[in-house]
Structure 1
Amino acid sequence: MQLFETLRMEAGKLPRLSYHKARMERSAARLGFRFDGDLWKNEINTIIEKHPVGHFRTKLILNPDGTMQHVVADLSDKKAFTAKFQQLQNHIPRSVVINKTTQRDHLAHMHETDLILLYDEKGKILEFDIGNVAIKENNQLFTPVYEADFLLGCKRQEMIDNGALLEKNFYLNELKEKVAQGKVSLFLINSLREVADVEIYL
């Protein structure tokens, strides 16, 4: 198992870098991984030196012994996604759900849509498989309240810190009804895509 962070890189800059570092450091402490801030800094500097121009998807990987590596790939300009609802299995260990690790089986799906929107056994809406969810209602963006039941995203936290996103729970039947009535819009929020439109299939 490894920890990883996926970052957007534009013209040699990595937005939300401090958020990503803090999240990886927190998860490393929880899971007993070694984390060295100097190694992190060196890895970041190497990435920036090699890719000063362009838009990239950057993946930073942390091994249990503290060693790090990275993978950089071109970033597509996809701005809209499709999604369907899928229940999160309730036997998934919390450590897998709340940390960004390479153990991602609980997020697997058949890719009939680009994304899945997860909900729990009570019907609480949780997150997409590749990011958090924002629900626009009455011209305000909301995201589910964190109860150690999904991955805390860096873009999500930045938007909360900036006052652009409020926490509020939505439940499956209620959300389906509001989508069908055109009362809400859904968005994917993550550090890579930032904010992207989502069409949810009912």
Structure 2
Amino acid sequence: MILFETMQLGEGQIKRLAYHKARIKQSSKQFAYPFNDKLWDDTITSIEKQYPTQMKRIKLTLDESGKMDYQIFPLTTKNHFTAKLQCVSQHVPKAYVINKTSQREHLRHNHETDLILLYNEEGKILEFDIGNIVIKEDDQWYTPFYNDDFLRGTMRQYLLEQEKVKVKDYDIASFKYKVQHDLIEVMLINSLREVADVEIYL
């Protein structure tokens, strides 16, 4: 199993870098993976120097021996997605839910839509398979309370600290009703897309 971060590189800098480092470092402690700060810093510097002007998607990985590696991909400009609802089992190990790891069986789907929007067995709306959810209601942005039940994204953390979003839970019944009656707007947030519109298929 590997830990990884997916990051946006633009104009020679990785955005929200401190958030990414803090998250993978915390995960490395939880799984007892060695984490070398100098190796991280040197790897990031090398990546940023390679692409001083281009927009790229960076996937940086950390394995159980402490080895870091990375892959670089084009960053597409897709900013509208479709999603369907999918219940996540309570039997998924919490460590795989709250950390970004290669153990992602609970996020698999048949891609009838671009994304899946997960909810738990109690009906709480949680997250998308590739990022957190923001719901716009009455000109305010909301994202679910964190209760060790989803991955805390770096963009979510940034927006909370900037006080651009508030925390509020939505249950699946009221969420469906509000989607059907156009009472809310639904958005995906992550460090790559930042903010993207999502159309929910019910």
The equivalent residue for 1:150 is 150
The equivalent residue for 1:189 is 189
CA distance in 2, matches of 1:69, 1:99: 18
Residues 105-158 of structure 1 show CA distances to partners (whole Å, capped at 9, x for unaligned) of 110000000000000001000000000000000000000000000000000000
The equivalent residue for 2:88 is 88
CA distance in 2, matches of 1:99, 1:79: 25
Equivalent pairs counted in the alignment come to 202
Percentage of matched positions with identical amino acids: 48
The equivalent residue for 1:130 is 130
Q: Does residue 32 of structure 2 align to residue 39 of structure 1?
A: no
CA distance in 2, matches of 1:13, 1:199: 31
The equivalent residue for 1:175 is 175
The equivalent residue for 1:115 is 115
Q: Does residue 79 of structure 2 align to residue 67 of structure 1?
A: no
Question: How far does residue 49 in structure 1 lie from its aligned partner after superposition?
Answer: 1.3
The equivalent residue for 2:27 is 27
In structure 2, what residue type is equivalent to 1:197? D
Question: How far does residue 90 in structure 1 lie from its aligned partner after superposition?
Answer: 1.5
RMSD: 0.5
TM-score by length of 1: 0.99
Secondary structure at the aligned position of 1:22 is classed as helix
In structure 1, what residue type is equivalent to 2:119? Y
TM-score by length of 2: 0.99
Question: How far does residue 185 in structure 1 lie from its aligned partner after superposition?
Answer: 0.4
In structure 1, what residue type is equivalent to 2:24? M
Q: Does residue 111 of structure 2 align to residue 101 of structure 1?
A: no
The equivalent residue for 2:166 is 166
- The answer for unaligned runs of 5 or more in structure 2 is none
Secondary structure at the aligned position of 1:174 is classed as helix
The equivalent residue for 2:76 is 76
Question: How far does residue 184 in structure 1 lie from its aligned partner after superposition?
Answer: 0.3
Q: Which runs of at least 4 in structure 1 moved beyond 6 Å after TM superposition?
A: none
Question: How far does residue 65 in structure 1 lie from its aligned partner after superposition?
Answer: 1.1
CA distance in 1, matches of 2:123, 2:189: 21
- The answer for unaligned runs of 5 or more in structure 1 is none
